[in-house]
A and B are shown apart, each in its own frame.
Chain A
Amino acid sequence: MSSREDWWYDEAAGPLVRPYAMVRGRTRPVTRELHLVTQVRAARQTQTADLTSLNVEHRELLEVCRKPLSVAEVAAYLDVPLIVVKVLLSDLIERGDVIVQDVSRISEIPDRDLLQAVLDGVRGI
C-alpha cells in the first residue's frame, strides 16, 4: 500500500480540493447516524477479491477499523476531515463492509446503569 502522504495529501490541491478529490467528487449525503463517537468496525473477514473493487481510501479505512473505533478516531488516524471519513464510511456501510452502532442508542442521554458503569470505570483507571 502506498504511504499515506502519497494520496491523502496534495500540496498543489490544498485543503479544499483534496477532500473533494478523495471522495471522487461524489456528493452523496452521508449516513445520518454518523456522529463523532458513533462506533464503527469492519464487518467481517473481507476477501482480497472483494477489496479490489475498493479504492485505496476505503481499504485503509477498513484496515484501521479492524477493531471498533469512533468516527472521530477513524478521521484522526487517517488524518482526513470528518466529512471525508463520513462519506467513505457511508459507502462501506452500504456495501455491508462496515457495521455501525445501533442508531437508537446514539442520541439518547445515558441512563442510570450506563452512568454507574462509567463512574465505576473512571474510578478504576
Chain B
Amino acid sequence: MVFVASDDALTVPTAVKIVIAGGFGTGKTTMVGSVSEIPPLRTEELLTEAGVHVDDLAGIEGKETTTVALDFGRITISPQIVLYLFGTPGQNRFWFMWDELAHGAIGAVVLVDTRRLDASFPSIDFFEHRRIPFVVAVNCFDGAQAYTVDEVRGALDLDPAIPVVLCDARDRESSKSTLIGLIRHSMSRLEHAAR
C-alpha cells in the first residue's frame, strides 16, 4: 500500500458548518441532499440507554447502548474551506447532540411545515436561547403555501430581526438561496455585535 503525498501534505482546510434543524419530517435531510456535492452521508453517535453521550469507551462493555444518526452533506468552497451541512436528529431528546452540532456553527436553518408549526418550536427555542444566528425557512409542502411569511412570523412569535423565507427543500436553487440568506444574516449579526 502506497500513500501518495502531495506538496500540501501538511495542511488541512478550514471547516465550517451550518445546521439544518426543525421538527420531525420537515425536510431537513432533503435540504442537505439538494445542495450537497455528495449524496448525504450518515454517521452514528453512541449513547447509553439513559441517553448519555458516550465519549469514552471505558466501562461501556456489557452495557446497553443506542445510537443517534446524523445526516450531513458537504460543499467544497475552495481548497482551503469546506462547508458541512448537518441535519439535526429527528428526536428532540438528543439535546447534547444539538450542542455539538451548534458549536462553532455559522448558524442554523430552522425548517417549518405550516401544517405542524409546533414541531419546530423546540428548534427555535434552542437557537434563540444560545444566541446562535438562524433563519426560519417555511418548507412549501404540496406546492401551495397556505400562510404568508408574516402569518408564520406571528404564529411563531419571532423576533422581527429573524429572517423568514419560503423554500422548497427539494429544489437546489431554493435551498441555496436559503443558505445564502442565513450566511448574510450571520454576517449582519457579526457586524451588529462589533458595533
Contacts and interface: CB of A to CB of B under 8 A. Distances in A.
A21 to B, nearest CB: 9
Contacts of A122: 35, 75, 77, 83, 176, 179-180, 183
Contacts of B44: 75, 81-82
Contact of A36 (B5, B42, B86, B176): B86
Interface in B51-88: 54-65, 67, 70, 72, 74-75, 77-78, 81-84, 86
10 contacts: A36-B86, A68-B13, A83-B46, A107-B103, A109-B190, A110-B104, A119-B187, A121-B77, A121-B78, A125-B75
Interface residues of A, number: 63
Given A117-B78, A123-B180, A106 B5 contact: no
Contacts of A26: 57
B190 A112 contact: yes
A117 to B, nearest CB: 6
Nearest to B187: A115
A101 B84 contact: no
Interface in B8-65: 9-10, 12-17, 35, 37, 41-46, 54-65
A26 B70 CA distance: 25
A118 B12 contact: no
B57 A43 contact: no
Interface of B: 1-5, 9-10, 12-17, 35, 37, 41-46, 54-65, 67, 70, 72, 74-75, 77-78, 81-84, 86, 100-101, 103-104, 106, 176, 179-180, 183-184, 186-187, 190-191
Interface in A22-41: 23, 25-27, 29-30, 35-41
B28 to A, nearest CB: 16
Contact of B43 (A44, A75, A100): A75
